């Protein structure tokens, strides 16, 4: 009896939402938003609204519901295989991985439920509600890079630094060093320039760093003017504009901070830094697209500026 009452309340609630949606529709709100609000497909919402306009009566939602289906043993084995192959975790990434490489669509909710029951995932109260994602990223590859130094929590006594492309999230160059120095920072920049030209016919334009001593001169000269650091002079010579982050504002370089988190979580699974870097660049990245499985290696090519594409084409012609 209690289940019936709960069900009837649910139907009544949805019908109330439907009435409100029709009112908003007449005020010019888009079908996509309204359909999502009441939990139906856009085409279904259009049908309901057309019936309402034709009869003047509020459509009645049917009490019959499609019976729930569960994951098959084959589906569970596929999920396990995807977990091992990708080294990923989380239902969203696993769903995209299976869709991308096995061309099979499994519902997110069922994957999430299975991962929870298997002890692979845990509930996070902070993620119970759908979050709004606001992307701040460049349109083209090589228009902006991020660099920072981080004391490794995986390899004792080592400092890790890498250049991450803003538009594609690809790690172009990096390494683990005994010291976080300006010279090691310059070494990474040189490698990025070499890779950019040789592999993508591109030139790095701007670089964002924090105001650490490896990158930035925090002292003033005798004229009470800001000094120019060795690294800043180096970037100017290389034709790269330096964009320092605001002090005490790590969000400016948030993409690099997020990469350091992945480094600390996954680096121990690989013998060498280069192996970890290759895995990362070939792994689905939700920051690029949450609906399609896109990797940094794919994104950096897809987002190349027109002049780089032309340069690659001319190189290809010369080889012919």
Q: Are residues 40 and 95 in the same domain?
A: no
Render pLDDT for 178-221 as a digit per residue (tens, 0 to 9): 999 999 999 999 999 999 999 999 999 999 999 888 998 877 76
CATH of the domain at 168: 3.30.420.10
| pLDDT for res 1 | 39
Predicted confidence (pLDDT) at residue 270 exceeds the cutoff of 70: yes
Q: Which residue has the higher pLDDT, 77 or 245?
A: 77
Q: Are residues 238 and 156 in the same domain?
A: yes
Predicted confidence (pLDDT) at residue 16 exceeds the cutoff of 70: no
Q: Are residues 259 and 169 in the same domain?
A: yes
Domain span at residue 113? Answer: 73-122
Q: Is 219 inside any structural domain?
A: yes
| pLDDT for res 268 | 94
Q: Is 66 inside any structural domain?
A: no
Q: What is the spatial distance between Cα 280 and Cα 287, in angstroms, rounded to a whole number?
A: 13
The DSSP-derived string for the chain is: -HHHHHHHHHHHHHHHHHHHHHHHHHTT--HHHHHHHHTS-HHHHHHHHHHHHHH-SPPPPPS--PPP----HHHHHHHHHHHHHH---SHHHHHHHHHHHH-----HHHHHHHHHHTTSS---GGGSSPPP------SSTTS-EEEEEEE-SSSTT-EEEEEEETTT--EEEEEEESS--HHHHHHHHHHHHHHHHHHHS----EEEE-S-TTT---SB-TTS-B---HHHHHHHHHT-EEEEPPTT-GGGGHHHHHHHHHHHHHGGGSSSHHHHHHHHHTS--TTT-SSS---HHHHHHHT--HHHHHHHHHHHHHH-
Q: Is 40 inside any structural domain?
A: yes
| pLDDT for res 221 | 67
Q: Which residue has the tokens 């192996």?
A: 275
| pLDDT for res 11 | 41
Q: Is 234 inside any structural domain?
A: yes
Q: What is the mean pLDDT of residues 269-278?
A: 96
Predicted confidence (pLDDT) at residue 10 exceeds the cutoff of 50: no
> Measuring CA to CA, which residue among 171, 208, 191, 201 is closest to residue 299?
171
Q: Are residues 240 and 273 in the same domain?
A: yes
Q: Are residues 199 and 261 in the same domain?
A: yes
Cβ of 223: how many Cβ atoms within 10 Å? 7
Q: Which of 38-52, 56-70, 253-267 has the highest mean pLDDT?
A: 253-267
Q: Are residues 192 and 110 in the same domain?
A: no
Q: Are residues 218 and 251 in the same domain?
A: yes
| pLDDT for res 2 | 45
Q: Percent of the chain having pLDDT more than 90?
A: 52
| pLDDT for res 199 | 94
Q: Is 130 inside any structural domain?
A: no
| pLDDT for res 64 | 56
* Cα radius of gyration (the chain): 26
Q: Are residues 18 and 78 in the same domain?
A: no
| pLDDT for res 44 | 81
Whether 79 and 116 have beta carbons less than 8 Å apart is answered as no
> Measuring CA to CA, which residue among 50, 23, 51 is closest to residue 37?
23
Q: Are residues 109 and 246 in the same domain?
A: no
CB neighbour list of residue 143: distance below 8 Å, 6 or more residues apart: 166, 167, 205, 206, 305
CB neighbour list of residue 133: distance below 8 Å, 6 or more residues apart: 290
Cβ of 161: how many Cβ atoms within 10 Å? 23
Render pLDDT for 83-142 as a digit per residue (tens, 0 to 9): 999 998 889 999 999 999 999 999 888 999 899 888 887 776 666 555 555 567 899 999
Q: Are residues 236 and 183 in the same domain?
A: yes
Q: Is 12 inside any structural domain?
A: yes
Q: Are residues 114 and 263 in the same domain?
A: no
Give the least confident one: 213-217, 250-254, 281-285.
250-254
Q: What predicted TM-score, i.e. pTM, was given to this entire model?
A: 0.74
Q: What is the spatial distance between Cα 294 and Cα 287, in angstroms, rounded to a whole number?
A: 9
Q: What is the spatial distance between Cα 4 and Cα 2, in angstroms, rounded to a whole number?
A: 5
Give the least confident one: 14-28, 74-88, 272-286.
14-28
| pLDDT for res 12 | 45
> Measuring CA to CA, which residue among 202, 215, 216 is closest to residue 143?
202
pLDDT band for 252, please (50, 70, 90 cuts): low
Q: Is 166 inside any structural domain?
A: yes
| Average pLDDT value over all residues in the chain | 85
Predicted confidence (pLDDT) at residue 14 exceeds the cutoff of 80: no
């Amino acid at each position: 009896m209690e289940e019936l009452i709960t069900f009837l309340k649910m139907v009544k609630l949805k019908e109330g939402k439907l009435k409100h949606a029709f009112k908003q529709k007449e005020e010019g709100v888009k079908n996509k938003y309204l359909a999502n609000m009441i939990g139906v497909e856009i085409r279904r919402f259009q049908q309901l609204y057309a019936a309402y306009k034709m009869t003047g009566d509020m459509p009645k939602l049917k009490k019959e519901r499609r019976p729930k289906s569960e994951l098959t043993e084959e589906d569970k084995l596929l999920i396990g295989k995807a977990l091992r192959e990708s080294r990923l975790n989380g239902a969203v990434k696993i769903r995209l991985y299976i869709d991308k490489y096995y061309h099979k669509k499994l519902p997110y909710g069922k994957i999430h439920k299975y991962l929870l029951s298997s002890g692979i995932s845990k509930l996070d109260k902070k993620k119970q509600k759908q979050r709004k994602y606001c992307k701040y990223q460049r349109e083209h590859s090589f228009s902006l890079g991020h660099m920072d130094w981080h004391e490794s929590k995986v390899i004792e006594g080592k400092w890790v630094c890498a250049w991450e492309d803003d538009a594609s999230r690809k790690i172009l160059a990096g390494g683990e060093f005994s010291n976080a120095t300006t010279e090691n920072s310059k070494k990474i920049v040189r490698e990025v320039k070499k890779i950019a030209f040789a592999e993508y016919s591109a030139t790095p334009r701007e670089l964002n760093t924090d105001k650490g001593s490896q990158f930035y001169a925090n002292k003033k000269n005798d004229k009470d003017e800001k000094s120019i650091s060795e690294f800043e002079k180096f970037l100017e010579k290389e034709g790269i504009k330096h964009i320092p982050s605001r002090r005490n504002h790590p969000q400016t370089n948030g993409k690099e901070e997020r990469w350091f988190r992945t480094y600390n979580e996954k680096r121990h699974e690989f013998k060498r830094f280069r192996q970890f870097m290759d895995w990362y660049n070939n792994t689905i990245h939700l920051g690029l697209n949450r609906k399609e499985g896109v990797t940094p290696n794919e994104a950096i090519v897809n987002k190349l500026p027109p002049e780089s594409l032309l340069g690659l084409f001319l190189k290809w012609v010369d080889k012919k």
